[in-house]
Amino acid sequence: MLRAYLDHNATSPLRPGVRDVMLAAWEVSGNPSSVHMEGRAARGLIEKARLQVADLVGARAGDVIFTSGASEANMLALSPEMKEAYAPSPASHLYLSAIEHPSVREGGRFAAQAVSEIPVNSDGIVDLAALRTMLDAHDPAAGRAMIAVMAVNSETGVIQPINAIGQLASEFNAYFHLDAVQAAGRIPLLMAEIGCSSLSLSAHKLGGPKGVGALVMAAEGLEPQPLITGGPQENRLRAGTENVAGIAGFGEACFNAENALTSAEGIVKQKALRDAFEAALVAMAPEVIIFGQQSPRVGNSCQFAIPGLKGETTLIQLDLGGVAVSSGSACSSGKVTASHVLTAMGYSVDVASGAIRVSFGWNSEEADLSRLIMQLRKICEKNSINTARLVENA
């Protein structure tokens, strides 16, 4: 059976060019910390990738810290024991949005009582007035505030007002960590313009390998407390021999992602597929709820619920019909629970439990869209909803 893979927000298949770069890197036998020729060759691959990652977000190569993924990068960033200009400048309280990824919702290394949630409105946008009130009430004598907000929500695809948040961070002398995992390659990201102090990335969301990510700092000497110590790697901010092939593939994926921002085969094509799907979805099921539809969204994502269809059941039926989608964040979708993102937006548990997320990517084609629509129509017809009216509108 031909399958349609439409879960790129969970992981995007490895691009052929990235695979080629990784295969070549696996032939380099040296340890990148060794001074001989083989070691220098491995080091060269890492430093090339470091520059490619930095270029994607407008940063200095020296401020890129390679990690095992974005979850580790988020944990590393959310550190009360921060340094600025290499001098201690601690943070005493973390303010994170109510719709963050689980790796941020855990609060990093802040104590539970030192974490506050920023509410969002019904369109999935962070409440800037509420954030300002929180920062107004923050006691700078106890330490600086730290803000953590994802640039693009992993479920709804809603784009947050990150520049406005950066301005608030500057006004209140707060740290601002940006989870840019779902934004990279889909919207332009320039750290200086945004005003964030750190930014996390993941290779496998970009068509790169799994198990590689990066924390990018905004300036030299701006440093979190290391999570993994015991070696000089990554400027002593992340000990352990680097994953050379994975990092090389990550760099190539970032290079491709930067080009995809303006390519007709990149985000323009993905948005066309997403828009066509939503038009078909509304025609097929007029009662459908498309979450965050009134907000700015990235062009590849659609999270929706059709009243009368359960999310988990629909997910399984689509999978059996050859379509891979998800019910939300891949780090949460194994749990039979309502999306915390949708409940934070004010939706009932019943509605949130019916959510399905479709996310297009670099290798998505119209055939994938056709299979998705066909299988979804079959599911509507088989389930106890007003299928007569749904079909006549299809």
What are the catalytic residues?
331
Contact 338, 329 (CB under 8 A): no
Tokens of 111: 């104590």
CA-to-CA dists, residue 93 to 48, 79, 112, 146, 231, angstroms: 36, 10, 10, 6, 30
* Phi, psi (degrees; rounded to nearest 5) at 380: -60, -40
The secondary element (H helix, E strand) that includes residue 265 is: none
Residues 372 and 4 sit within 8 Å (Cβ to Cβ): yes
Residues found in the chain: 394
The answer to whether residues 288 and 306 touch, using CB atoms and an 8 Å cutoff, is: yes
Residue with tokens 């062009």: 299
Hey, is 45 helix, strand or coil?
A: helix
Which residues make beta-bridge pairs with 159? 152
CA angle centred on 157, ends 156 and 158, rounded to 5°: 90
CA distance 384 to 362: 35
Nearest to 154 by CA among 345, 303, 9, 254: 9
